Structure 1
Amino acid sequence: MGELTRLREFLNELIPSEDQFKRLYQNFCAQVRKGLGAKTNKESDTKCYLTYVQDFPTGNETGRYLALDLGGSRFRVLLVTLKADHEAEQVTKIFDLSEKELRGSGTQLFDYIAKCLHEFVCEQKVEAEHMSLGFTFSFPCVQTGLSRATLVRWTKGFNCTDTVGEDVGVMLKAAIARRTGLKIDMVAILNDTTGTQMSCAHRNPACNIGLIVGTGCNACYTEKVENCERLDSKYKDRPKIIINVEWGAFGEKGGLEHLLTDYDRIVDKNSLNAGAQIYEKMVAGMYMGELVRLVMLRAVNENLVFAQCKLRKYITDILTKKPNCIETKVLSDIANDKGDDWPLVKDVFKNIFHLNDADPEDCMKFKYICDVVAKRAGNMLGVTLSGLVNKVGENFTIIGVDGTVYRCHPNFDGYMRETLDQFVEKDYKYDIMLSEDGSGRGAALVAAVVHREYIERKSLNARLRQ
């Protein structure tokens, strides 16, 4: 049996069959239906949170709006100038968060954010203006209104005290109020997926799905209000609402057991939130590199890779003792490497294993392992995205996408389309649009739409009083 054939057999559990994908599709769609139901929501791992975003950009919005984008150890503040005709300009500043903000009190975090907001508006010389702000908050929340969101749990390394179970909208507004001179009205809280969808919808109103596939992974989509049993009747005067699926948690109720490998189980066991976010751990950038490390360790131990390498024991020690020594970035960096020389893979081997004379066959095998892990992730995402395209039920749906994995891996779009083409119903067409401007601009657009609705309502009331 050839070496590559042996490796393919070894990796077979990471290459799902058509039947496994069909089961994934069925299980995911069932969880979304449960998530939308009033009586079944508690049974679902995809909670399908209501976002209360029910109005969408026309492309003709004008004015200046602020956006705050918090979803990792850095956050962004944006000043977005909308110029009608689908045009927009933005100025962005990035601020770092220290351990004090990441793991201190909620008051410390939001006071620091308000301080940075103040610094930004002064730099942009707009501190005298009354401005609406959209807040992209990329953590699981239960929303009870457009600007009210109760934090369910922290993810991505955050662990601020006195925040879980609290309304983060109230906390940000209080911090802004404590900062003298800030004339900012926070009008909307949204997830980064919603921001991505709104940003792409500003360019094309057919965008009915937002996807983030970066460090973490999540999706949202436009749902008909009659399907949202948990939505209060006062919000049912508008036909649609964006649903934040929170699909990273898919699998917590067992819906992914048929796809989980020992590698996935080890990644989950060693994570900060064992037993949670199972789907995310199979498809997101935070974990793909670690999956490759675990596969490589077993492959080396079974003499499938580096069998003749003089540094084999040293490489095994690194793979054993250094979790996360292979970054997900590596999967993107080497995706287009080919030929006899393998310069990109050799650079990776040099950096991680201090190996200067790698065998071309070992290079080919390592790249193949990386491709298999990335392809599984992209294919799985294509399956679950198909469920959302079919749920939206429009003749043509655009999927707005952002995130470093999608942006940086040259083959990831193709991996997703493979299974999208297989599972999207024949009556529906789809396309994928890269969110050029990220979820931050989407937050500013929600603020603009809220402002537009306020002006229209004010004008209507004035006419009624005449």
Structure 2
Amino acid sequence: MHELVNKVRMLRAGFVFSEPQILEIANSFQQAMTDGLTGKGSSLKMLPSFLTKPTGREKGIYLAIDFGGTNVRILTVGIKGNGEYRILKRRSFPLQDRGKGYDFTSREATGTDLFQFIAGQIESLLEPGQIYPLGFTFSFPSQQTGVNQAILIKWTKEIQTSGVEGHNVSEMLQKALVCKNLIQVIPRAIINDTVGTLLTSSYIDRYADIGSICGTGHNTCYIEPSSPITGKPMIINMESGNFNELPATKYDLQLDRQSQIPGEQRLEKMVGGQYIGELTRIIIQDFINKKLLFVSGRPEIFFTPYKIKSEDITRLLTDESPDLTDVSQWLKTICRIPHSLLEERITLRTIASIVIIRSIQLVTATFTGVLKHIDPSLEKRHTIAIDGSLYELMPGYASKLNITFKNIFKGKSDLIETKLTKDGSGVGAAIAAAIVED
């Protein structure tokens, strides 16, 4: 028991940061932003969007595609002006369905197959005689050369579709629409999901100047006051999930080695919903190997990569009963562990909590780096628009993020507001199309 307590204490010391450490990471992030903007070597790509804030007066009916992972959403959005909008129709569909015999995310699938499949899902949302300017949210690292031109740099989120990296995804979508004879759909803008989230929030909130995804993946964008391209305000997609100037533990290194892109997306692998379950599993596996947990057996779930999901972490953290009854039930039904000690259940919950606390601290550190860049003395109000399941659904995530801000900025933290922006990536694509059309 004493050895288990010491192991948990060492884990916490390696994961949870002090305020000076958070500020040190924030400063490194700010420097990486500057380096990226000025063309120096940086893990932040600092990609231009060629868009700035909407005026709030945009109007019309627009089509939006939201492609951010293995599920794609299509929306028709009525934008009414005065910061008002309404989702008129929506549908979502998976890019992989083994029951139906397809997987457009595998190496065997081509980009042509992928985009023709997406285009084929659009027709059911269209009204006869209506022209639909299209905004396309494409949430993968892409080099933009214009508001409707984007070349995929590299797939992330374990997608491997061939023939897309290094190609203009806007042109691939356009060809697919023509192939499906959807001539009433007119592509106008391509954006990242963080840009969409920021556009959606800034359409109704003039203080919104940072947008972030805290869900399966992680990335942040912001409004650069003076773009190196135009000298005017422009939304910059940082691809911040790739930030790598971070103190990594042996568990982070193990997760990185076994991933499909070792050495890349280091921040995302420490904070994103795609990885927090796996990171927790790797830690628990180490505890089991050291005979500190479940000494009477070897639960396979903790020795099978990616078997533990963010939903399991949520379940561990939600249980507040004195004997952790729900955790016990989870161990019985999901993990096939019929008997567990209370100390073991507490340890699992503590490990999950430590992983989540570090996620919150790292995300807050990067937001702090952005704020230091755009408002060094923190003299103005700022809204950080956030979408994603971690921020919305993980117990304590949003509140602890705001507490961390309070600790860092002391009396000035009231100038910072974080705001859940639902459907931001989809609605934002429609707003992007509206900005171009306006």
TM > 0.5: yes
- Tell me whether 1:107 sits opposite 2:89 in the alignment: no
Task: State the one-letter code of the partner of 2:417.
Answer: D
Work out which of the residue numbers 75, 80, 97 in structure 2 matches 1:78.
75
What does the per-residue CA deviation read over 1:81-129, in whole Å, with 9 as the maximum and x for residues that have no partner?
12233222112101221344223111111112221122321xxxx2421
CA shift at 1:440, angstroms? Answer: 0.1
Q: Distance in 1 between matches of 2:374 and 2:422?
A: 23
Match of 1:434 in 2: 420
Task: State the one-letter code of the partner of 1:17.
Answer: S
Q: Distance in 2 between matches of 1:318 and 1:436?
A: 33
**Contact 1:222 1:241 survives alignment (8 Å):** yes
What does the per-residue CA deviation read over 1:259-292, in whole Å, with 9 as the maximum and x for residues that have no partner?
2000000000000111111111011011111111
Task: State the one-letter code of the partner of 1:192.
Answer: D
For residue 203 of structure 1, give the secondary structure of its aligned residue in structure 2: coil
Match of 1:457 in 2: none
Work out which of the residue numbers 376, 390, 400 in structure 2 matches 1:415.
400
Q: Distance in 1 between matches of 2:64 and 2:355?
A: 35
Match of 1:348 in 2: 330
Task: State the one-letter code of the partner of 1:64.
Answer: I
Number of matched residues? 425
**Contact 2:30 2:372 survives alignment (8 Å):** no
Q: Distance in 1 between matches of 2:266 and 2:64?
A: 31
> What is the RMSD computed on CA atoms of the aligned residues?
1.9
Task: State the one-letter code of the partner of 1:113.
Answer: I
Q: Distance in 2 between matches of 1:57 and 1:71?
A: 22
Task: State the one-letter code of the partner of 2:37.
Answer: L
**Contact 1:340 1:360 survives alignment (8 Å):** no
Match of 2:362 in 1: 380
**Contact 2:135 2:433 survives alignment (8 Å):** yes
CA shift at 1:77, angstroms? Answer: 0.7
- Tell me whether 1:250 sits opposite 2:257 in the alignment: no
> CA separation of 1:318/1:443 partners in 2, compared to 1, >3 Å: closer, same or farther?
closer
Task: State the one-letter code of the partner of 1:285.
Answer: G
Match of 1:450 in 2: 436
Match of 2:298 in 1: 314
1:176-215 to 2 correspondences below 5 Å: 176-215=177-216
For residue 82 of structure 1, give the secondary structure of its aligned residue in structure 2: strand
> What's the TM-score once normalised by structure 1's chain length?
0.86
For residue 203 of structure 2, give the secondary structure of its aligned residue in structure 1: helix
> Alignment identity in percent?
31
Q: Distance in 2 between matches of 1:26 and 1:207?
A: 22
Q: Distance in 1 between matches of 2:282 and 2:103?
A: 33
**Contact 2:56 2:204 survives alignment (8 Å):** yes
> CA separation of 1:346/1:157 partners in 2, compared to 1, >3 Å: closer, same or farther?
same
CA shift at 1:21, angstroms? Answer: 2.2
Task: State the one-letter code of the partner of 2:255.
Answer: V
Match of 1:44 in 2: 42
**Contact 1:378 1:415 survives alignment (8 Å):** yes
What 5-or-longer segments of structure 2 have no aligned partner?
97-101
- Tell me whether 1:92 sits opposite 2:90 in the alignment: yes
Q: Distance in 2 between matches of 1:221 and 1:294?
A: 34
For residue 16 of structure 1, give the secondary structure of its aligned residue in structure 2: coil
Q: Distance in 1 between matches of 2:124 and 2:111?
A: 20
Task: State the one-letter code of the partner of 1:443.
Answer: A
1:115-130 to 2 correspondences below 5 Å: 115-121=120-126, 126-130=127-131
Task: State the one-letter code of the partner of 2:45.
Answer: K
1:149-188 to 2 correspondences below 5 Å: 149-188=150-189
For residue 167 of structure 2, give the secondary structure of its aligned residue in structure 1: coil
Structure showing greater Rg:
1
> What's the TM-score once normalised by structure 2's chain length?
0.92
Task: State the one-letter code of the partner of 1:52.
Answer: F
For residue 128 of structure 1, give the secondary structure of its aligned residue in structure 2: coil
**Contact 1:140 1:151 survives alignment (8 Å):** yes
Q: Distance in 1 between matches of 2:410 and 2:236?
A: 21
